[in-house]
């Protein structure tokens, strides 16, 4: 568990350093995720490795980590109360648009590539 956390935090630190050195506008942990993915593809650790145990543990309870931010919304009721229409409208429309665009594009490209490979 500690060893696994060491790898996760190590990748996060590398990510933070990389983001600052390269002046990227992505969050450090996201670059850390890309670094860990590259490491995993390269080293191919066995399924019982501590990185996997630590990661599975964290991901299983991922939702717990959002709760403090969620509680924060209580302090922001003012802002939402002023603008429920833009927020709800934007959320609904962009959610439906994103879902259908990905669904259509993916099935269209899948049909194309599978027809040409046959």
Q: Does 79 bind another protein (CB under 8 A)?
A: yes
One of 68, 81, 115, 118 touching another protein (CB under 8 A): 68
Q: Does 17 bind another protein (CB under 8 A)?
A: no
Place of tokens 């630590």: 54
Q: Does 1 bind another protein (CB under 8 A)?
A: no
- Tell the burial category of 15 from Cβ atoms under 10 Å away from its Cβ (0-12, 13-18, 19+): buried
- Helix/strand number for the chain, H first, E second: 6, 0
Residues in contact with another protein, total (CB under 8 A)? 71
Minimum distance of another protein from residue 46's CB (angstroms): 13
Dist. CA 23–CA 26, nearest whole Å = 9
Minimum distance of another protein from residue 96's CB (angstroms): 6
Q: Does 64 bind another protein (CB under 8 A)?
A: yes
Minimum distance of another protein from residue 36's CB (angstroms): 4
One of 23, 107, 115, 118 touching another protein (CB under 8 A): 107
């Amino acid at each position: 568990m500690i060893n696994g956390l060491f790898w996760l935090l190590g990748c996060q630190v590398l990510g933070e350093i990389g983001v600052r050195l390269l002046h990227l506008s992505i969050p450090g942990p996201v670059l850390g995720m890309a670094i860990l993915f590259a490491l995993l593809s390269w080293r191919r650790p066995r399924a019982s490795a501590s990185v996997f145990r630590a990661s599975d543990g964290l991901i299983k309870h991922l939702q717990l980590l959002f709760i403090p931010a969620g509680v924060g919304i209580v302090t922001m009721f003012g802002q939402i109360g002023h603008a429920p229409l833009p927020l709800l409208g934007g959320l609904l429309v962009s959610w439906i648009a994103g879902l259908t665009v990905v669904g259509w594009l993916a099935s269209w490209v899948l049909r194309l590539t599978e027809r040409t490979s046959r």
